[in-house]
Chain A
Amino acid sequence: MNSAAIASHENYASHENYLSSGWNWRSWLTTLDHKRIAILYVVTITLLFGIGGAAAAMIRLDLLTPHSQLVSIETYNKLFTMHGVIMVWFFLIPSIPATLGNFLVPMMIGARDLAFPRLNLASWYLFVGGALFTIYALLAGGVDTGWTFYAPYSTTFSSSHVFAAATGVFIAGFSSILTGLNFVVTIHEMRAPGMTWFRLPLFIWSMYATSLILVLATPVLAMTLMLMAIERTFGIGVFDPALGGDPLLFQHLFWFYSHPAVYIMVVPAMGVASEIVCCFSRNPVFGYRFMAYAILAIAAFGFLVWGHHMFVSGQSAYAGTVFSLLTFLVSVPSAIKVFNWTATLYKGQITFQAPMLYALGFVGLFTIGGLTGLFLASLGLDVQLHDTYFVVAHFHYVMVGGAVMGFFGGIHFWWPKITGRMYPEGWARFTAILTFIGFNLTFFPQFILGYLGMPRRYPEYPPEFQVWNVLSSAGASLLAFGYVLPLIYLLWSLRYGARAPANPWNAKGLEWETPSPPPTENFHTTPVVTEEAYAYSRAQAPHG
């Protein structure tokens, strides 16, 4: 908005910023700066992603052959459980909100920090505490219940370290709640002068909706896991039918959280994609208000559809019917978003930097993930598809194709802002394309396997399914490169990357009006917002 102001900060940037103000353990571990806490999260979830990814690699290797030759079937069960638990609760859920969200929410609305910086730091410590419990469960011998912890297997029959793992997730849940609470209050109370609700970037809308889900759904998970753990400890409870409990009650409570949790993962990625697609097509987002409403609608309707995970569980057919209908309704706003991103490209000045490639990849993969969700929402068809690889493929398209592509896109897009360095563009573009290809090669065959009937969580399977499994594992090896390469070149760029200007992409948004990396207090003077979000003009092209 004010290029002169930006220019005057260019020199200033290299002198004092949030990274340079104190560089010792203490300054990091006691920091109240949302930007530093974001970095703490980045480091933590990268480590955890490594563990979850290693488990996935073992799983795919083991599935190369119909007979489980690499690991025992018990180990396989523990591997997919740890993969699920770590990836869902310790990577995907905090991925965008706790890293990019933490970094960007105050910056995008023109605030100096989140409303409650101490709470923010506390939530990182809770997260680490939860992660430690879960890693303890892993080292002590593993957990073999699956990430869903279904009763009565988890409460009565499993002899693995369910209690420790559930405690870890329970603790991490409070971290989620505190982060969500912080964001909601910050977005309500701390917006800069002129930053009205309908001038908010869509990323902020997505963070707002995500936070609402975090705040309202997570307590349900926490108490459900507590009920499960207590039932396991004392041998009595409301889930095990031995005394008259109802195992489906656990599923109701679990999915009341876990379905909205899917939106915790993918809605932030939608926000990221909106920012990137607009920036690199030099266009305002198509249908801004529809996009904002669609985000809120997804968050709200997301609470009404949990029963579609239970069509063949023994839930009543009538309840199944209601949940199926509601599920079709929630898919409408998601469809709207895909169409709007596509329409945003229309008459733009499109360039294809790495973030854009990731964002376009996100739109494509999310489209497939969303459409295959409709297969599963269809009552008659879900009977065939439920608990098969079709489901596995579907939710990986949404959660990995969607959320992780969004995460990587966002990391590249804001890397110059966060670190003050440019990443190597060629490598990044190559990796974005490699990830897209590797992802499809890994997960598309699983749709076919699913309709053929291959069940989930099978280390051993009939030999006729091998072709597709080999193809999938081959894809996974490409995908692995797609995840390891950024780690290497992004770390490399910290030292050798070109210095980033305040606004390398010529992007709109308050975060680009402050130096890269930003000063501790984010803005030298409080910004005043005078225009709508995404006020791009087609004349200006992004650099690079």
Chain B
Amino acid sequence: MPTRARRPPMANGDTAVAPQFDDAEQQRTASNLGIWIFLATEILFFGVLFAAYAITRVRFPEAFAAGSRLTNLPLAGTNTAVLLTSSLTMALGVHAARHGARRALVGWLGLTVALGCAFLAIKAVEYRFDYLEHLVPSLDFRYAGPQADQVELFFYLYFFITGVHALHVLIGIGCIATIAVMASRNVFSPAYFTPVDVTGLYWHLVDVIWLFVFPILYLISRS
């Protein structure tokens, strides 16, 4: 990264730029770097769950396959499509922000929030079915086949991973809704839309994580 050759002697006059920064460009770069580092921590956060999953599955492959067959693939598949679509609407929202299209931005953000809520709603229905089928560990778990304990372990991980992911979706919805309100108040401009950009990156990452959660929980030995 090249060091800037000059910078103004003291705090700048631009109100949109915080006093510790020299200019809007530096502020934007810093925010971007910051959010990417944060996303790296998020990836590692989920990494623990993936590691716990990998090690437990390697030890009990058959129980995990049996557990996976009991998950609700139609709902989860639909949910994956919903989340991928919400990622599209978010990307289009960021695009609108960059080009100063305020109404389009608000619209896309609203649609993203709606899709996010749809994801959570479908998830809730899925949990409801799991509950009715007595698949909730510790609370109500009944399973007649072999290795019932290990199947329960699979469902423990299933609820833990999807639960933590759903929490991230919920936080994302909150952030996007806030951004949408800000956008409707005309806070953003092509020169300043960092919050939209940053929230978008977060939302896409939640999508990326789901892309790994989906096959490892729902797709083991369906054949």
By a CB distance below 8 angstroms, the chain B residues around A237 are 153, 156
A48: shortest Cβ distance to chain B, in Å? Answer: 24
B23 to chain A, nearest CB (A): 11
Give the contacts of B51-102 with A (CB-CB under 8 A).
51-52, 55-56, 59-60, 63
Q: Is B47 an interface residue (CB 8 A)?
A: yes
> Which residues of B are found within 8 Å of A235, using beta-carbon distances?
138
* A4 close to chain B: CB less than 8 A: no
> Is the CB of B149 closer than 8 A to any CB of chain A?
yes
Stretch at the interface among A184-192, A291-299, A366-374, A456-464: A184-192
Residue-wise interface mask of A (162-187) relative to B, using a CB-CB cutoff of 8 A (1 in contact, 0 not): 00000000000000010001101100
Residue B144 CB within 8 A of the other chain: no
Which of A111, A243, A526 is within 8 Å of B9, CB to CB? A526
How many whole Å from A38's CB to the nearest CB in chain B? Answer: 15
Interchain CB contact under 8 A, A113 and B20: yes
B3 near A195 with CB under 8 A, answer yes
Q: Does A141 contact B (CB under 8 A)?
A: no
Closest to B2 in A: A196
Contact bitstring A236-276, B, C-beta under 8 A = 1, else 0? 11100001111001001100000000000000000000000
Interface residue tally of chain B, by bracket? 35 or more
**Known A116-B34, A238-B153, A238-B157: A196·B3 in contact at CB below 8 Å:** yes
Q: Does the CB pair A216–B20 fall under 8 Å?
A: no
A484 contact set on B, CB distance < 8 A: none
Shortest C-beta distance, A247 to chain B (Å), equals: 12
**B46 and chain A: residue at smallest CB distance:** A223
**B7 surroundings in chain A (CB, below 8 A):** 193, 526
A-facing residues in B26-57 (Cβ within 8 Å): 26, 29-30, 33-34, 37-38, 40-42, 44-49, 51-52, 55-56
Determine whether the beta carbon of B153 is less than 8 Å from that of A181. no
Measured CB to CB, the nearest residue on chain A to B47 is: A220
Q: Are B137 and A234 in contact (CB-based, < 8 A)?
A: yes
Partner of B37, one of A106, A185, A224: A185
- For B1, B5, B20, B60, the residue with the greatest tally of chain A CB atoms inside 10 Å of its CB is B20
Q: Quick check: is B152 within 8 A (CB to CB) of the other chain?
A: yes
A114-B20, A222-B45, A236-B156 given as contacts; is B137 within 8 A of A181 (CB)?
no
Q: Are B34 and A112 in contact (CB under 8 A)?
A: no
Chain A residue contacts of B156, Cβ below 8 A: 234, 236-238
A521–B22 Cα distance when bound, in Å, is: 13
Q: Are A115 and B11 in contact (CB under 8 A)?
A: no
Q: Which residues of A contact B33 (CB under 8 A)?
A: 184-185, 188-189
Q: Which residues of B contact A224 (CB under 8 A)?
A: 48
In Å, the complex CA distance between A191 and B21 comes to: 11
| Chain A, range 73-129, C-beta contacts under 8 Å to B | 106, 111-117
For the complex, what is the distance from the CA of A182 to the CA of B10, rounded to whole Å?
A: 22
Report Cα–Cα, A185/B31, bound state, in Å: 8
Which chain A residue lies CB-closest to B1? A188
B222 at the interface (CB under 8 A from A): no
Residues of A near B4 (CB, < 8 A) are 193
Decide if B19 is an interface residue (CB 8 Å cutoff).
yes
| List of A residues within 8 angstroms of B48 by Cβ | 219-220, 223-224, 227, 253
Q: Which residue of A182, A195, A216, A253 is within 8 Å of B41 (Cβ)?
A: A216
CA distance A243 to B5 in the complex (A): 62
Chain A residue total in the interface (Cβ 8 A): 47
Q: Does A215 contact B (CB under 8 A)?
A: yes
B63 shortest CB reach to chain A, Å: 8
Q: Are A236 and B30 in contact (CB under 8 A)?
A: no
* Closest B residue to A243 using CB positions: B149
- B17: min CB distance to chain A, Å: 12
Q: Which residues of A contact B153 (CB under 8 A)?
A: 236-238, 243-245
Bound-complex Cα distance A388 to B21 (A):
51
Q: Which A residues are CB-close (under 8 A) to B19?
A: 112-113, 521
A218 within 8 A of B: yes
Which residues on B are within 8 Å of A, measured CB to CB? 1, 3-11, 18-21, 26, 29-30, 33-34, 37-38, 40-42, 44-49, 51-52, 55-56, 59-60, 63, 137-138, 149-150, 152-153, 156-157, 160
Residues of A within 8 A of B (CB): 106, 111-117, 177, 181-182, 184-185, 188-196, 215-216, 218-220, 222-224, 227, 230, 234-238, 243-246, 249, 252-253, 521, 525-526
Q: A237-B156, A526-B10 are in contact. List 14 more A-B contacts (CB 8 A).
A: A116-B34, A181-B41, A185-B33, A193-B3, A193-B7, A219-B48, A220-B48, A222-B45, A235-B138, A238-B156, A243-B153, A244-B150, A521-B10, A525-B9
Q: Would you mind naming 18 contact pairs between A and B with Cβ atoms under 8 Å apart?
A: A114-B20, A115-B21, A185-B34, A188-B30, A189-B29, A189-B30, A190-B20, A190-B21, A194-B3, A215-B40, A216-B44, A218-B41, A223-B46, A234-B137, A238-B157, A244-B60, A249-B55, A521-B19
